[in-house]
Structure 1
Amino acid sequence: MISFSRRLRLLLPALGLALFLAAPSLAGDAVFQYSTIDALLAGLYEGDMTMAELARKGDFGLGTLNGIDGELVVLDGVGYHVSAGGAAVVAPGAAAIPFATVSFFGGDRTLDLGTIDSLAALNEAVVAGLPSKNVFWAIRIDGVFPSVKARAIPKQSPPYDPLAEVAKQQVVVTLSGEGTLVGYYSPPFVKGVNVPGFHWHFLTADRARGGHVLDCSLNPTTALLDELRTLTVRLPASAEFDGLDLSGDKTGELHAVEKGPAKGE
């Protein structure tokens, strides 16, 4: 008869594997990404991952929907589709995405923020409070915003132009009041895969409006920071992705998309 201690030793490896596969919380320090920012810049606006699938990868994050249809904000486990003009609705589970970054938000640290008068000032304040600039950080900021300049791009139809051209159609709105910033800091070495530095989306407190943040001001509040040391990237399984030329440096195009001209300014 096999002793209890030996049975336990034999079961431990299998038990450990089962726990790893069954418990997403054990990977709570991980960021999941679908596709790459350079593929999006090149005009790959059709993905094969649905919102329902994305929800299993994280309860916090940002991205866009197929056809570069507005902005995606994932907050408290709900994915919100923000269309051009700023209106936000819950995204259907069957909706597909071409690009997204999500994680299970834990809030490892807090950072007190004073009055912030611009997005540049916010980025400076947050980066000064990061223990390391070589890892990923999910950042949640709930507060009162005197002003948020947010954009969303109207849904496109094929054949698609590169994102730097499409972004010229973005519609900018100015929002104010209570709301939440959903953001990520990514280290410099992710260039081409994700957005190095900060990427912010916004939702109003009633979850009715939002967008990709171009600028903002903020009353004193506390930021929640979640340290992420594991990156998982799932690439689209499509002939379009396989045929892209991703060999060049798209830094200039990314800057144009983040800061370029827009309607409504």
Structure 2
Amino acid sequence: MINTKKRSVSILTAILFLFLCSLAQADNTLYQYSTIDSLLIGNYDGELTAVELQKHGDTGLGTFNSLDGEMIFIDGKIFKAKADGKAVEVEQSQRSPFAEAVFFKTDSIIKIDSSKSLENLNEQITKALGSENIFYTIRIDGTFESVRTRSVPAQQKPYRPLVEAVKEQHIFKFSKIEGSLIGIKSPAYVKGIGVSGYHWHFITKDRTAGGHVLDCSFRNLAAKVGNYNNFSLQLPETTSFLDADLTKDKEKELKKVEKNPSKD
């Protein structure tokens, strides 16, 4: 009887240890569904639901099926910035063809006295970070002097490549606006899989507007930064993904998709 009790305690201890280890790993993992190259060639329909994404984090970025709006995942809630710039919380059944998520944590805080542009913001954060070879999630809350965002209208089949779809993007300008920037910085070696470098989305404090960030400026705000050294990639099982030709280098197309049109 004593041995049986000891074995039971040992088993429970082992289970608890494995559970705690899994939690620790989750805290350091950036989860991603699909690849950026798949999205670039026009694979706009995925299987990932909002409720499934919420199992992998409480903060992140992405888009929705048919390329219908920009995803802002913040404080455990998933919002869609639609083609008219307005943001709405999505239903749990809403699906995504590409998304990234983390359980946000603050490993460091970067005080930023002034940022005159998105490019300038990226430079300041890069100087304050350590390794270029891990993932970072960044959150900046406060009042912004200006924010320039975009969203793309839902696409119709047959889907065009993303570089063509964004030609229909709608651009929105905000001034003296309270809100949050959510950014993910990925290493250069994820080229073709994720967005190497910075990727930012914005949502207003009242959660009614936002989008993919093209530019921004502000004074006296702080960037909360989380470090992530685990990367979990879930590949779609859709026919369009499994049959896709993903052998071509799409980096030039990605740069065109991400760039600020005002700087052409």
Q: Is the 8 A contact 1:168 1:260 kept in 2?
A: no
Shift of 1:88: 0.2
Amino acid across the alignment from 1:46: D
3-state SS, counterpart of residue 37 of structure 2: helix
- Worse-superposed segment, 25-34 or 85-94: 25-34
Aligned match of 1:161? 160
Provide the rounded CA distance (Å) in 1 between the counterparts of 2:160 and 2:86.
24
3-state SS, counterpart of residue 218 of structure 1: strand
**Alignment gaps of 5+ in structure 2:** none
2:199 is equivalent to residue 199 of structure 1: yes
TM-score calculated relative to the size of structure 1: 0.94
Mapping 1:205-220, distance limit 5 Å: 205-220=205-220
Amino acid across the alignment from 2:107: D
Provide the rounded CA distance (Å) in 1 between the counterparts of 2:220 and 2:126.
17
3-state SS, counterpart of residue 231 of structure 2: strand
Output one character per residue of 1:179-227: Cα deviation in whole Å (capped at 9) or x when no partner: 1000001011100111000000001111111000011111111110000
Mapping 1:219-258, distance limit 5 Å: 219-258=219-258
Provide the rounded CA distance (Å) in 1 between the counterparts of 2:143 and 2:260.
26
Provide the rounded CA distance (Å) in 2 between the counterparts of 1:55 and 1:18.
19
Q: Is the 8 A contact 2:42 2:160 kept in 1?
A: yes
3-state SS, counterpart of residue 18 of structure 2: helix
Provide the rounded CA distance (Å) in 2 between the counterparts of 1:180 and 1:31.
20
Aligned match of 2:186? 186
3-state SS, counterpart of residue 125 of structure 2: helix
Q: Is the 8 A contact 1:110 1:224 kept in 2?
A: yes
TM-score calculated relative to the size of structure 2: 0.94
Output one character per residue of 1:55-99: Cα deviation in whole Å (capped at 9) or x when no partner: 111100010000001100001001001001210000111110000
Aligned match of 2:120? 121
**Alpha-carbon distance change, 147 to 78 in structure 1, aligned in 2, over 3 angstroms:** same
Aligned match of 2:136? 137
Aligned match of 1:27? 26
**Alignment gaps of 5+ in structure 1:** none
3-state SS, counterpart of residue 241 of structure 1: helix
Over the matched positions of the two proteins, sequence identity in percent amounts to 43
Q: Is the 8 A contact 2:215 2:260 kept in 1?
A: no
- Worse-superposed segment, 127-136 or 12-21: 12-21
Amino acid across the alignment from 1:253: E
Provide the rounded CA distance (Å) in 1 between the counterparts of 2:252 and 2:130.
29
Output one character per residue of 1:93-122: Cα deviation in whole Å (capped at 9) or x when no partner: 111000000100011110010111101000
3-state SS, counterpart of residue 173 of structure 1: strand
Provide the rounded CA distance (Å) in 2 between the counterparts of 1:31 and 1:119.
23
Q: Is the 8 A contact 1:168 1:261 kept in 2?
A: no
Paired residue total: 261
Provide the rounded CA distance (Å) in 2 between the counterparts of 1:238 and 1:2.
53
Provide the rounded CA distance (Å) in 2 between the counterparts of 1:163 and 1:247.
17
3-state SS, counterpart of residue 194 of structure 1: coil
Aligned match of 1:94? 93
Aligned match of 2:17? 16
Q: Is the 8 A contact 2:214 2:260 kept in 1?
A: no
RMSD: 1.7
3-state SS, counterpart of residue 67 of structure 1: helix
Q: Is the 8 A contact 1:57 1:103 kept in 2?
A: yes
**Alpha-carbon distance change, 259 to 15 in structure 1, aligned in 2, over 3 angstroms:** same
Q: Is the 8 A contact 2:25 2:230 kept in 1?
A: no
Aligned match of 1:146? 145
